[in-house]
């Protein structure tokens, strides 16, 4: 009866597991969610297939002009030229709102020396004498 009792016990445990799993799946709507996800996946696959065929059939006209992306170096050079056109003296540098804001930010985070160093660095970049 020992071996038969173990087999019957395992069968009962498996049946309890299956019943509990079904109750759990019913309560949390797992089966409905799975069906819904399969339906969504099928519809997306069909749409993807339709779009792929449409793109292949559609003739794409070549772009006549390409948009030139401005590199970081070109952007910095353009900004430096703009600054040189606006700032002719060290006093102009001190009164420029953008530079003043950047210098004050440096001062807040790093102290008075950073403020002065930043202004000297900008003056040097612009070729100004202080």
CB 128 within 8 A of CB 90: yes
pLDDT for residue 119 = 81
CB 47 within 8 A of CB 53: no
Residues 83 and 42 in one domain: no
Residues 85 and 50 in one domain: no
In a domain, 67, yes or no: no
Residues 9 and 50 in one domain: yes
Dihedral of CA 49/50/51/53: which sign?
positive
How high does pLDDT run on average in the chain? 80
In a domain, 116, yes or no: yes
Q: How far are the Cα atoms of 62, 83, 108 from residue 120, in angstroms, in the given order?
A: 50, 15, 17
Whether 126 shows a pLDDT value over 50: the answer reads yes
Residues 79 and 44 in one domain: no
Query: Model's pTM, two decimal places?
Result: 0.39
Residues 50 and 77 in one domain: no
What residues make up the domain containing 30?
A: 2-55
Closest by alpha carbon to 83, among 130, 128, 113, 129? 128
Average pLDDT over residues 50-55: 67
φ, ψ for residue 80 (rounded to 5)?
A: -65, -40
Whether 67 shows a pLDDT value over 90: the answer reads no
CA 97/CA 84 separation, integer angstroms: 15
Whether 72 shows a pLDDT value over 50: the answer reads yes
Residues 120 and 78 in one domain: yes
Residues 46 and 81 in one domain: no
Query: Which tokens hold the place of 105?
Result: 């930010």
Count of domains in the chain? 2
Residues 7 and 49 in one domain: yes
Residues 42 and 85 in one domain: no
In a domain, 92, yes or no: yes
């Amino acid at each position: 009866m020992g071996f038969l009792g173990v087999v019957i016990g395992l069968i009962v445990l498996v049946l309890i597991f299956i019943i509990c799993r079904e109750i759990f799946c019913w309560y949390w709507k797992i089966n409905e969610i799975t069906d819904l996800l399969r339906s969504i996946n099928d519809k997306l696959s069909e749409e993807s297939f339709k779009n792929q065929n449409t793109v292949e059939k559609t003739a794409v006209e070549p772009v006549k002009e390409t948009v030139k992306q401005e590199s970081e170096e070109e952007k910095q050079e353009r900004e430096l030229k703009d600054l040189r056109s606006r700032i002719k003296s060290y006093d102009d540098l001190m009164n420029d709102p953008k530079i003043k804001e950047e210098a004050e930010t440096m001062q807040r985070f790093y102290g008075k020396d950073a403020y002065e160093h930043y202004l000297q660095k900008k003056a040097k970049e612009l070729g100004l004498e202080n």
